[in-house]
Amino acid sequence: MISVLFESHHLYYLPNFLPIIKEMRRRAEYDIFASIPHSIAKEEKNIFYKICDENNLITIVGSSEKDRINKIKNKQFEIIVVGNVGRIEEIAAKSSLTVMVYHGIGLKQTYYNDIVERIDMRAIESKDRYEILSNQGQTNLILNGYTKCDPLINMENNLDDLFKKAGLDKSKKTILYAPSFYPSSIEKLYPELEFISNEFNLIIKLHNFSWFQKRYQYQSKMMKNIDRKMPNVYLAKPVDFDVIPFMKMSDLLISDISSTIFEFLPLNRPIVMAECFSLRLKHQFFYKRFTRKLDLDRYDSVDFVHRINDPSQLNALIYHCIEYPNELSELRKDAIVTYLYKNDGKASSRLIDEIEKRIVST
């Protein structure tokens, strides 16, 4: 058996990892473990351990971060999979094959900066990213697609059960609102969200940080207010860590600079991109500091979404998209090839094929 550790820096990295774990289990050659940093908020860690337990994953837990790292180092894992570089240089044995499956594919520059030499293989979700990183001199790249999207093609969940669990009427059209934490559209769109649930189901899926980081917890408080006041609303709780089942339920996505605008593509359903952000004061005064955080070339190239920069445009646009769902359909199909490589649910399988080639060769 090949020993594998999935080092999950946060709970929300798990949706990228679970399809890989499922494929490893199908091949029945792997002894699989998972761990999360000791410093993460207690509630987030507890949910992580619960999800791991439900998926029969052995977790490595320490009494301190130093203790956790020592336990990992002592296991001498043959493969370590990470979602960012984190503490890979501390936890990897000399013989460990280290694999990076990046936790997001949105519009931020961090994608290109989260790089260290100790990563042996980096999973890339598109030819476009592959070429950019290759031109930067990166040589550890594997073009396989985006593992998080595999379940959109291979979804086993019964939609009736999902709607029943959420307490929503399946006969209604369903809108998914899945914003980023910063910069976010939450504050600007908040007054408009109340109107959506008058006619449609509204699912709100917040970023992990909106629940667990004090700086952003006001966002979950705002959405709790919507959930409490309005009918036909389901506010996904922190334990609902995976946005993919909610995507499968939804006829339309509203987001901003979140990775979800790319992750929703395999369904070829309308996407509204809200460009009405609430910026910190320093970014209002020094706007270039804000734009330096974004991948502006990618931002400008996104042509498969309906963009709004005025919150009052939202509801009219929702009605338009629901009535004409095939508008921009061809652009969305092209975008799948551009941003996700292949729409076949086999990104995890391709990645493991490459991992196994590397293991055999060593």
Q: Answer yes or no: do 114 and 229 share one domain.
A: no
Q: Answer yes or no: do 354 and 320 share one domain.
A: no
Cα–Cα dist 93/75, whole Å: 9
Q: Which two tokens stand for residue 221?
A: 């408080």
Q: Answer yes or no: do 147 and 238 share one domain.
A: no
Q: Which two tokens stand for residue 273?
A: 């991109």
pLDDT tens per residue, range 262-288: 999 999 999 999 998 876 666 555 556
| Count: domains in the chain | 2
Give the range of the structural domain holding residue 111, as residue numbers without chain letter. Answer: 2-151+345-361
Q: Answer yes or no: do 22 and 37 share one domain.
A: yes
What percent of the chain is helix, strand and coil (3-state, nearest 5)? 50, 15, 35
pLDDT of residue 282: 63
Q: Answer yes or no: do 117 and 180 share one domain.
A: no
Q: Where do the H-state alpha helices sit in 230-295? A: 244-249, 260-263, 281-285, 287-291
CATH number of 15's domain: 3.40.50.2000
Q: Answer yes or no: do 146 and 189 share one domain.
A: no
Q: Which two tokens stand for residue 308?
A: 């709004």
What pTM was computed for the model?
0.94
Kind of pairing between the strands at 30-35 and 271-274: unpaired
Q: Answer yes or no: do 160 and 295 share one domain.
A: yes
Q: State how far Cα 263 lies from the chain centre.
A: 8
Contact call for residues 15 and 241 (beta carbons, < 8 A): yes
pLDDT of residue 279: 65
Q: Answer yes or no: do 185 and 289 share one domain.
A: yes
Cβ neighbours of residue 329 under 8 Å, at least 6 residues apart? 268
Cβ neighbours of residue 197 under 8 Å, at least 6 residues apart? 226, 230, 231, 232, 233
Q: State how far Cα 110 lies from the chain centre.
A: 14
pLDDT of residue 156: 65
Kind of pairing between the strands at 252-255 and 97-101: unpaired
Q: Answer yes or no: do 167 and 96 share one domain.
A: no
Q: At residue 195, what are phi and psi to the nearest 5 degrees?
A: -75, -25
Q: Answer yes or no: do 230 and 111 share one domain.
A: no
Contact call for residues 252 and 272 (beta carbons, < 8 A): yes
Q: Answer yes or no: do 199 and 331 share one domain.
A: yes
Q: Which two tokens stand for residue 312?
A: 């009052």
Strand order in the sheet with 141-143: 58-59, 30-35, 2-7, 79-82, 97-101, 121-124, 141-143
Cα–Cα dist 151/15, whole Å: 9
270 sits in the region (left: phi over 0; alpha: psi -120 to 50; else beta) called beta
Q: Answer yes or no: do 95 and 203 share one domain.
A: no
* Positive or negative torsion for Cα 291, 175, 332, 305: negative
Cα–Cα dist 249/175, whole Å: 9
Cα–Cα dist 41/28, whole Å: 33
Which residues make beta-bridge pairs with 4?
A: 32, 79
Q: Which two tokens stand for residue 177?
A: 């609102």
pLDDT of residue 278: 75
Cβ count within 10 A of residue 117: 8
Q: At residue 32, what are phi and psi to the nearest 5 degrees?
A: -110, 130
Instruction: Tell the residue number behind the tokens 């391709």, with chain if given.
Output: 350
User: Which portions of the chain are predicted below pLDDT 50?
Assistant: none
